[in-house]
Amino acid sequence: MNAPVLSPASAALLESATRILRATTSEIVVSVGRRPDGSWPALRLMLDGQDFATIQPGAIVTGEAPVAELAIPLPRLPEGRLRSIAVADAATGTLAPGSGLRPIPTEAKLRALVIYPAGEVYDHDKVRWYRAPMEKLLSEYFNIGDMIVYDSTLKLLRYAHLEPMKIMAPTDADIARYASEFDFIFVRGSNFIHENMEWFRAVEVLEKVKLPVYAIGVGAQASRNRRIELPEASRRFWSIVAERSAAIGVRGAFSAETLRQNGIRNVEVVGCPSIFRTRNRDLQIRVPDQREIRKVAFSLRREADKSYTADPEAYLRNQKAALLKVDAQSEMVMSSHGEQEEKAFFLRDAAAKEKAVSEFVRTGWWSGPDDAAMRRIYEKQLFSFFDVEHYDAFARSQDLAVGYRVHGVLPAVAHGVPGVLVAYDTRSQELAETLKIPVVPEAALAEGGWRAVYREAALGSLVKSYAASYDRMRDFLDRNGIPHRM
Torsion, Cα of 88, 91, 93, 96 (10° steps): -30
Rounded CA separation 486/474 (Å)? 6
Collapsing DSSP states into helix, strand and coil, what is residue 349? Answer: coil
Rounded CA separation 413/400 (Å)? 9
Q: What are the pLDDT digits (tens) for 202-233?
A: 999 999 999 999 999 999 987 677 899 999 99
Rounded CA separation 150/433 (Å)? 22
Confidence of residue 79 (pLDDT cuts 50, 70, 90): low
Q: What are the pLDDT digits (tens) for 348-406?
A: 999 999 999 999 999 999 999 999 999 999 999 999 999 999 999 999 999 999 999 99
Rounded CA separation 433/406 (Å)? 12
> Of 135-144, 303-312, 436-445, which has the strongest mean pLDDT?
436-445
336 vs 426, higher pLDDT: 336
- Helix, strand, coil shares, percent, the chain, to 5: 40, 20, 40
Query: Which amino acid does the sequence have at 289?
Result: D
- Please answer whether residues 406 and 431 qualify as being in contact, where contact means their C-beta atoms are separated by less than 8 angstroms: yes
Do β-strands 27-33 and 382-383 pair in parallel, antiparallel, or remain unpaired?
unpaired
- What stretches of 168-306 adopt beta strand conformation (E)? 184-187, 213-218, 248-250, 267-269, 295-299
